[in-house]
Structure formats: structure tokens, C-alpha cells
Amino acid sequence: MSAATIVNLPDQKTAVIPKKNYINAEDGILSWLFTADHKRIAILYLISITFFFLVGGTFAGLIRLELLTPQPDLVASDTYNKLFTMHGIVMIFLFLVPSIPATLGNFLIPIMIGTRDLAFPKINLLSWYLYMFGAIFLSAAIVLGGVDTGWTFTTPLSTHYLNTHVVTAGLGVFIVGFSSIFTGLNFIVTIHRMRAPGMTWFRLPLFVWSNYAASVLMVLGTPVLAITLVLVVLERTIGIGVFDPTKGGDPLLFQHLFWFYSHPAVYIMILPGFGVISEVMSTFSRKRVFGYSAVAFSSVAIALFGFFVWAHHMFIMGVSNYSALVFSLLTMLVAVPSAIKVFNWSFTMQKGSITFETPMLYALAFIGLFTIGGLTGVFLGSLGMDIHLTETYFIVAHFHYVMVGGMLMAFLAGLHFWWPKLTGRMYPESISQLSAVTSFIGFNLTFMPQFMLGYLGMPRRYHSYPPEFQVLNVLSTAGATVLGFGFLMPVLYLLWSLKYGKIAGNNPWQATGLEWQIQSPPLTENFIEMPVMDHEAYDYEWLAHKTEQEVTTVG
Amino acid sequence: MSSQYHDPANVTNPEHSEHHIIGPGTYILVYVSLLILTGLTVAAAFVDLGILNPVLAVGIACVKGTVVILFFMHVFYQSKLIKLTVTAGFFTFLVLITMTLSDYMSRAWGLW
Amino acid sequence: MDNAIVATHDTHVEEHHVELPQLRHHFETEEQQREAGTFGMWLFLLTEIMFFGGLFFAYLLYRNWYNPAFVAASNQLSIPLGTVNTAVLISSGFFMALGVWAAEVRKKSLLVLFLILTNIAGLAFLGVKAVEYKEKWDKHHIPGAHFDITEFVNPPLNPKTGKPVEEPLSPDMAQKTQLFFVLYFAMTGMHALHMVIGIVLLFWLTYRANRGEFTEGYVAPIENFGLYWHFVDIVWIFLFPLLYLINRHPGT
């Protein structure tokens, strides 16, 4: 197994990084801060989200450390509230939402569709500045003493009963929201308007399709979050009463408006991950993605259904039984397109020549973990089970299986897969395989016990618990430690590889996408001459034919 | 599918339409009709039509909004893509309204 | 660069006209750039629809829950001022549409004239709005500590008939008029904020139009600003009947 590999590197003695590329096109920090190049902006995003991922991860570590013992001994109860709140806010708004779209999407979408840049390069830069500006607000909220509403800003808790920095955090999320709106807007326009000749919709790589679907959700969902947060901030500062029952307002209205964005938001987070998995599955199975159009349309279907299911977050909040029934049914429907994807990826592997490089390991981890996460979502979508399991560790485990086991694994798969393209150098293979396996084991050890804890009735968001839950909690904390190493290793060896990694050449994976046919790292203008697409996506025969021709030409 | 020749502006696409210049004549017509409809909606508010009062008010507003979108904002002459985009926006808005309303209405049957 | 993927393509699209200096390097034709701009603007307007959407739903909910309070509070707004303002804003939109036409037919002085007219009408709208806000302040209808419900609990008597001009509300329901004014200020305030942003942009565009930037074939900024300005009109077209004309036929 380990001998079989598709990696095809140039001769390391003679190979060099191309003299002209987007990294050394201009020098100086200002040339990065004022760049309009989508690739450089992607790198800016990559650095910032990695930083905030480590911040959010630190909060998670402290949470798990506190839960090692049943007694509250590490932190006070309100500090614990702040820890899980800041973990949620940082991870969701500063890491998960922008993670794949703003980094890999930003870097790859223009190249994949064969154009020189996104449609609005300056708005792309603006979106990074908005992200940083919002992140400064959120960091200020953390440094000044934190916020403890939970990431959901639940009213009236957030508007009346807390003395923490709700307004600062709310404004931060508001601003970061606009950054994601602008990213989504840019992607939609680019994908509609800038495709290379011959690049029809059904020749687009599936990564582009899934980012397109996520962008639609960003553009249509995020403004509702924005107005909701504006109302929360106004309610808190001048007491307008829209969510205040004593003045005739309705706290449930807040829940409706908040989840109208925040449910589609989980699809904003996971859909780009689906795209990465499609690319990786195809490349390392040497086969076209099985059921290309089914996978493409299921992304769109998930985006569409995503707007019809939000009230399943509110089953225990007093929504009407009738509408809960409808929302429950619609929730089940989302499982259909998700299952279509999982089945199609599995069939992509069938009779393929599978190799197990790191991106593939992460992708396989994704499929298993996402399936568990998705199926437990169906449990939670059914009304009776939801009453029992919501607000317990079961739901914590469920969304971590989707968000960490799904999204983060997909992000790491994509990062390793396109690292040679981003930097021109390979990551070290064996240690990264080790880290993929480590994080898979660590992840399951962390969150599988939480399913059991939740089923047994341990509520979420408490820093102390009955002693009989301690064994499972210790397992979970041990797993979190392993997981922490699993996530720290890539940070270190990827940094190492920037200088010492093997030179990758144009197409180390022998993959078919347009991005692999240009030099790595790419030129600022991506293509010397505009490409013309004359074959389907994932056409390995075309690639073999092309390679053959090159060999004969050179020979 | 037009795949083999160069088509940077997607000229053969349903996403494309010729640039159309609307003259002042159309604008004046639209302007006058908007003013008339404004008068109409104010007048209608003073007549007791029961449940039809708000329906008529919103109906007239929808007509006015549609006219502005179609002519002042040129959507009538735009590509299918733009038309679809505008429709999608209002569709999502309606999803927000109706799905949320379905909860509030079914919580208090008969009171709405 | 690999040859198989780079085919030479016919360049007849670019042949026949001089390229505008505003054509950005990553677009191949002006047509592509113009359509991308329009499409981007429309997507931005979609976000605006959803942004106002949350407020519209809050309005819908509370109007149904507290209908008597909403009727009484709405009747405190001035119909003449509201109607005039609607007409003023529609005129502003009309001038903007003519401005787009003037830019397209490349008439510089007409374009500048129409932009100035648009701006004057926009400023007039904000002026009337300020008068209305001032009236709310004087009548203690600003939500908050100084909000006064006596007028809704004990409406003044009509000197001719000796009956109250409005249906008196119970103190509890009268409190809910505050919610109407909250939504009134939130919605018209958010609308006015968009107007202010638009007016600032208009000054800038007028300055640039006067230098002849938009009458040489490059009209995208004028067109896209027009879309924004008309969208702000549309919001008002809905706000006017919803806020001012809830129930203007007392006695029923």
C-alpha cells in the first residue's frame, strides 16, 4: 500500500521553484496589504484564520481541562461560560465560515474556471479588511473580559441579564458577516461571468459548484443575521423592546431571525468541504467523480433546503407543534442530498486505483465522520428524540462530528492537496500521514464519549457534573489532547516545508484540474494565455493523452 | 453548448442580453403612473374596505415596486440571469416571512 | 505552460473598437465587465432585501398582535407630509433614471443637471423626514424614558361631536404603541441612513460626471448607483402604506 503512490515529482537535483510567481512578484509587506491578487488575499486569509483557529483551540483545551474532574476546580463558572462562548464565536465566525471559501476558494476558483482574478479584486481585499476589523472587535471583547451569552446571543439573556461585552462581540460578528457577504457575492459573479471559453457549467470542477452553493447562502442569509444583531445591540444599549416581553416584544422572534441565518450557516461551512472531498476522491481514485451532476445538484439542493429547516433549533423553545412537524419533515429531507454525496464518493472509489496519500486519508476520515455526524443529525431532527437529546452533550458531539470531523478534516485534506500549488513545495508525506491518523483517532476519542454522555443526560454548558460521568469525560479530555497534537503537527511541518519541502513541480498528483496545468506557485496573472476548456472535468484519459504528447515532443 | 469558440461576454448565454437604452418617454410614463398609484393608495386608505384595506395597500405597493424594478431598474430588458436573481431575492424574503408566520399562526389558531 | 490546454482563440471580439481606459485587466471585454458589475450590484441589493426583511417581519408580527395600538400610533403620523415625501422620492428616482439615460446618450450637461436634481429631491426628502422626527420629539413619541401614552389612553375630544378623536386604548395596549414607534424609527431610520449614504455618493458622482468621466461610454457607476437609489425608493414605497396608512377611516 505504501509503495503505491501517484506522486510524480520532478528531479530534485535540477528542479527549481519558477523564477516568476505570485509570491515574489512584488516585495514588501505593503505589497501584500494592498494587493488585489486573489492568491495573495487567500494567503492573508490563511494566516489570519490559522491564528484564530489556534485561539479557538486554546479555549477548547481549557474547556476540556476543566471537565476532567466533576468538581469546578480550574475556572469559575462565569469564566467557563466565557470560555465556551468565545470558543464558539471564534471558531464559527472567524474560522469555519471563512475557512475553505476565503482561503482555498479564493485561491482556486479563478484558476479552476480559467480566469485571471475574481470579478471584483478590490472588494475581495475589502472583505479581508472587514474580516480583520471584525476580528479586532471580537478580540477586544475577549481581552476586555469576554462575553458569556453562548455563540447564539440568546435574548433576553444577552440583552438584559449579562454584564459582559455583548455589544462589542455583536458588532464584531456584524462586521465579519459583511466580509462573508462580499466573498460570496464575488464568487457568484465570477463563476457566472468569468468562465473560460468552453468552461460550461457541467465542466466545472465540483469544488466550484459547492462554493457557488455556499456563496448563495452567504449572500441571502447573512444580512438577516446582520439586522438581528443590530436589533440585539439596540435592545441592549437603548432598550427598544423588540425582543423584550415586558414591552410586548417576542424573544422567539430573535430565535427565528437568528436561526434563519445560522442554520444555513452550517451549510456555508460544510458545502465547500464537500467540494474539496470531491476533488480529492477523484484524484486519488484516478476516476471521474461518480454521478457528477448528482453531486453538483445535491449541493444546490442542500443550499435550497437549507432555508426551510431552521426551526429545528427551536423545538424546545415553544414553537407550535404543527410547524415543528413541518420543520422536522423538511429537516429529514436534507439528509437526501447529503446521502447522495456520500454514496457517490463511495462509488467513485469503487474499482478505482486508490492510493493513500495524506489528502486521501483526511478525505476518508471525512466520509466516516461526516456520515456519523449527519446521521445523528437525523436523530435530532425527529421531534421526540430532539426533546430528549437537545441541550445535552449529544448535540455537542453531533455538530463537532460535522464541523470538526467533517469540515476541518476537509479543510486539512484541501490544504495538503493544494499545498504544492500554494507554495510550490511538498509537505513531508510520512509525518503528515501520521498526523492524519492521529487526528482521526483523537477526534473519535474526544467526541464518541460525548454521544454517550449526552444520551445519558449530561447537559451541555455546565462546568461541573455528577461523578458517574467522569470516566467518559476523562476519555474525552484525553482524546482532545491527542487531537490537539494532531492539529498542531500540520502547523509545524507545513511551516517547515515552506523552506525545506521537496519541489513539487506543476502537477505532483497528476490531477486533471486547470489549476494543475499551470506552474506552482502560479504567476500573478495565473495563465500566460487564456485557457480553452475542451474536455470534461476529471478526464484522466485527456490527461494521459496530454502527458504522452509532451513526452513525445520532448523526446 | 457553445464550447469551442471564444465567448468572453457569454454572448450566446441566457445570462446575457444586449445593452438596451430606455428613452425619457418610458420614464415619464412610469413616473406619472407611480404618482397616480400613490394618490390611489392614499385615497383607498380613507375608505373602509375591511380586510381588503391592507391587502390593497400592499398590492398597490407591489405594483409600484414591480414597475420601478422593471423599468427604472431596467430588469425588463435584462438577461434571464438578472431576472432570476431578482426573483430569488424576493423568493427568499417570502420564505422568511411565510415559514416564520406559519409558526406564529399555528400557535394561535383563529386569532390571526 | 502546456500547449494542449491553450488554444489560440479568434480575437474578433476585441477588434472593432478602442478599449476604454476603465477596462480592468482581468476582464476580456467591456461587455463582460459591465454585466459583471450589474450582476454584482443586484446581488448586493438582494442582501439589502434580506436586511430589511427581518424588520418587515417584526412589523408584520407586532402589527397583528397589537393591532389597536398600531392603528392609534399610525394615525399620529402626518399623511400630507408622508404623501409629499413619497412624491418627492419618486421624483428623485425619476431624475436618476433620466440621469442614466443622459449618460448613455453621452450628454454631459444633462447628466450633471439630473444628478443635481436627484440630489435636491433626496435632500428635500430628508428635510421633511427631519421635520417629522422633530414632531415626534415634541409629542413625546420617541420610545424610551420620556415616552408618553396619555394621548392614547385619553384621546383629545373632537370639539364638534364631543367624542374622542380616537378609540381610547387600555394602558396595557397603549404601551404597545411604543413598539410601533420603535419599528417606525428603526425602519425609516435605516432607510434614511441608506439615503444619506446615497447622497454622499451622489455628490462624488456629480463631481466626476462634471469632469466628463461618464459620458464617454463608461456609464457603469451611474447605472449601478441608479440601481441602489431605486432600491431605496422601493423600500420607501412599501414603508409608506405600512406605516402611515394602517387605518385612516375612524369609526370602524
Nearest to C40 by CA among A191, A209, A302: A191
Residue B14's pLDDT band, with cuts at 50, 70 and 90, is: low
Nearest to A15 by CA among A429, A502, A422, A494: A502
pLDDT above 50: residue C6: no
pLDDT at position C11, please?
A: 40
Written in H, E and C, the secondary structure of chain C is CCCCCCCCCCCHHHHCCCCCCCCCCCCCCHHHHHHHHHHHHHHHHHHHHHHHHHHHHHHHHHHHHCHHHHHHHHCCCCHHHHHHHHHHHHHHHHHHHHHHHHHHCCCHHHHHHHHHHHHHHHHHHHHHHHHHHHHHHHCCCCCCCCCCCHHHHCCCECCCCCCECCCCCCHHHHHCHHHHHHHHHHHHHHHHHHHHHHHHHHHHHHHHHHCCCCCCCCCHHHHHHHHHHHHHHHHHHHHHHHHHCCCCCCCC
CA pair distance A43, A99, nearest whole angstrom: 11
What would the mean pLDDT of A425-445 be, rounded to a whole number? 95
Residue the block writes with cell 477548547: A60
Q: Assess whether the previous peptide bond of A521 is cis (omega < 30° from 0).
A: yes
Q: How many residue contacts between A and C have a Cβ separation below 8 Å?
A: 128
Q: Which of C24, C44, C52 sits opposite A185 (nearest CB)?
A: C44
Q: Which amino acid is at C189?
A: G
Do the chains contact at C226 and B72, CB–CB below 8 Å?
yes
C156/A540: higher pLDDT: A540
pLDDT above 80: residue B2: no
Angle at C84 between CA C81 and CA C89, to 5 degrees: 120
Q: Which of A220, A241, A514 sits opposite C178 (nearest CB)?
A: A241
pLDDT at position C155, please?
A: 84
Which chain A residues touch C68 with a CB distance below 8 Å?
none
What would the mean pLDDT of A524-553 be, rounded to a whole number? 86
- Looking at every residue in chain A, the average pLDDT score rounds to 93
A384 backbone dihedrals φ, ψ, rounded to 5°: -65, -45
C-alpha cell at B52: 381588503
CA pair distance A123, C234, nearest whole angstrom: 26
pLDDT above 60: residue A152: yes
* Torsion angle of C-alpha atoms A328, A333, A336, A338, degrees rounded to 10: -70
| Burial class of residue C55 (count of CB atoms within 10 Å of its CB; 0-12, 13-18, 19+) | buried
Q: Which of A219, A241, A257 sits opposite C43 (nearest CB)?
A: A219
Do the chains contact at C249 and B27, CB–CB below 8 Å?
no
Do the chains contact at B30 and C35, CB–CB below 8 Å?
no
User: What is the 8-class DSSP label of residue A20?
Assistant: S
Does residue C229 sit at the A interface (CB-CB below 8 Å)?
A: no
For C194, residues 6+ apart whose C-beta sits below 8 A from its C-beta are C48, C232, C235
pLDDT at position C18, please?
A: 55
What would the mean pLDDT of A371-392 be, rounded to a whole number? 93
pLDDT above 70: residue C208: yes
pLDDT at position B7, please?
A: 52
- State pLDDT tens for residues C31-42: 888 889 999 999
What percent of chain C shows pLDDT beyond 70?
90
Which chain C residues touch B11 with a CB distance below 8 Å?
31
Spatial contact of C232 and C195, defined as CB atoms under 8 Å apart: yes
Query: Helix or strand or coil: residue A555?
Result: coil
Which chain A residues touch C30 with a CB distance below 8 Å?
none
pLDDT at position A448, please?
A: 96
Do the chains contact at A308 and B15, CB–CB below 8 Å?
no
Do the chains contact at C36 and A226, CB–CB below 8 Å?
no
What would the mean pLDDT of A73-89 be, rounded to a whole number? 93
| Cα C32 to Cα A44, A64, A117, A134, C27, distances in angstroms | 28, 53, 13, 33, 7
Do the chains contact at B4 and A198, CB–CB below 8 Å?
yes
Please list the residues that pair with A90 across neighbouring strands: none
Does residue A333 sit at the B interface (CB-CB below 8 Å)?
A: no
C-alpha cell at C13: 471580439
pLDDT above 80: residue A124: yes
Interface test with C, best of A112, A240, A258 (most C CBs within 10 A): A240
Do the chains contact at B73 and C230, CB–CB below 8 Å?
yes
Do the chains contact at B4 and A534, CB–CB below 8 Å?
yes
What percent of chain A shows pLDDT beyond 90?
83
What would the mean pLDDT of A127-138 be, rounded to a whole number? 97
User: What is the 8-class DSSP label of residue A444?
Assistant: H
pLDDT at position C146, please?
A: 81
Which chain A residues touch B112 with a CB distance below 8 Å?
none
pLDDT at position A310, please?
A: 94
Q: Give how far the C-alpha of residue A529 lies from the chain's centroid of Cα atoms, to the nearest Å.
A: 33
pLDDT at position B21, please?
A: 82
- State pLDDT tens for residues A27-51: 888 999 999 999 999 999 999 999 9
pLDDT at position A43, please?
A: 96
Do the chains contact at C40 and A116, CB–CB below 8 Å?
no
Q: Which of C9, C40, C44 sits opposite A119 (nearest CB)?
A: C40
pLDDT above 70: residue A3: no
pLDDT above 70: residue A135: yes
Do the chains contact at B8 and A319, CB–CB below 8 Å?
no
Query: Nearest CA of chain B to the CA of C18: how many Å?
Result: 17
Query: Where do the domains of chain A lie?
Result: 5-553
What would the mean pLDDT of C17-25 be, rounded to a whole number? 66
pLDDT above 50: residue C83: yes
Query: Where do the domains of chain B lie?
Result: 23-105
Length of chain B: 112
Residue B51's pLDDT band, with cuts at 50, 70 and 90, is: confident
C-alpha cell at C78: 402626518
Which chain A residues touch C39 with a CB distance below 8 Å?
188-189, 192-193
Residue B57's pLDDT band, with cuts at 50, 70 and 90, is: very high
C-alpha cell at A502: 521537496
pLDDT at position C166, please?
A: 78
Spatial contact of A328 and A382, defined as CB atoms under 8 Å apart: yes
- State pLDDT tens for residues C151-166: 888 888 877 777 777 7
Residue A113's pLDDT band, with cuts at 50, 70 and 90, is: very high
Q: Under CATH, what is the fold of the domain A5-553? A: Cytochrome C Oxidase; Chain A (1.20.210)
Residue A554's pLDDT band, with cuts at 50, 70 and 90, is: low
